[in-house]
Amino acid sequence: MATKKSNLINVGRITTVHGVKGWVKIHSDTAPRENILQYKPWWLKTRHGVKAVEIDDGQVHGQGFIAHIKGVDDRDLAREYCQVDIAVERSQLPELAADEFYWHELEGLSVISEYEGQTVRLGTVDRLMETGANDVLLVKGDSDSIDQKDRLIPYLPDQVIRSVDLDANEMVVDWDPEF
């Protein structure tokens, strides 16, 4: 049975407070990073549930960003939002070209290796990581895979990544299963 995907996509995280007037520091997972300040509303995934908030001001600060949540005007109230994921509605994300994918679309895909004439299932994409040179898939072995090994596979379209089929929930890679 297929599970329904959430309409909310994580785009960053509130890390800590900034100053005494309710500002918070933001870690952005968007590209470009400053795009996080353009989304409205932010949906905060708190321990008490998901809450929509309005950001009434935000700016670049050093290597990151700071933002002010409307109605949050002191440090103690702002602290309640620290270490909370920021999500936006999927419909707010820009359309991509046919051969481009958002990371959240790749997470959960089955990974099939077609390497030197053999086809084997390596596992499932658990998450992606930025390494500087290229993005890397963390593929976790599962009960249907060749073994239970976790693998780090570079996300290099046309080199390692042969195809991505979101409808079939599958990614085909050219990767040595022994590696």
Q: Which domains does the chain have, with CATH numbers?
A: 8-90 (2.40.30.60), 103-173 (2.30.30.240)
Whether the CB-CB separation of 44 and 13 falls below 8 Å is answered with no
Position 135 pLDDT exceeds 80: yes
pTM, whole model, 2 decimals? 0.73
- For residue 33, the tally of other CB atoms under 10 A from its CB is 16
pLDDT tens per residue across span 8-49 = 999 999 999 999 999 999 999 888 889 999 999 999 998 889
pLDDT of res. 6: 67
**Signed CA dihedral, 85, 89, 93, 98: sign only:** positive
Give the pair of three-digit tokens for residue 59.
């700016």
Give the pair of three-digit tokens for residue 104.
């959240």
Q: Which of 148, 79, 144, 66 is nearest to 112 (CA)?
A: 144
Q: Which of 76, 135, 138, 144 is nearest to 100 (CA)?
A: 135
Q: How far apart are CA 171 and CA 150, in angstroms?
A: 16
Whether the CB-CB separation of 118 and 172 falls below 8 Å is answered with no
Q: How far apart are CA 8 and CA 89, in angstroms?
A: 5
pLDDT tens per residue across span 57-72 = 999 998 889 999 999 9
Q: How far apart are CA 52 and CA 74, in angstroms?
A: 19
pLDDT of res. 23: 97
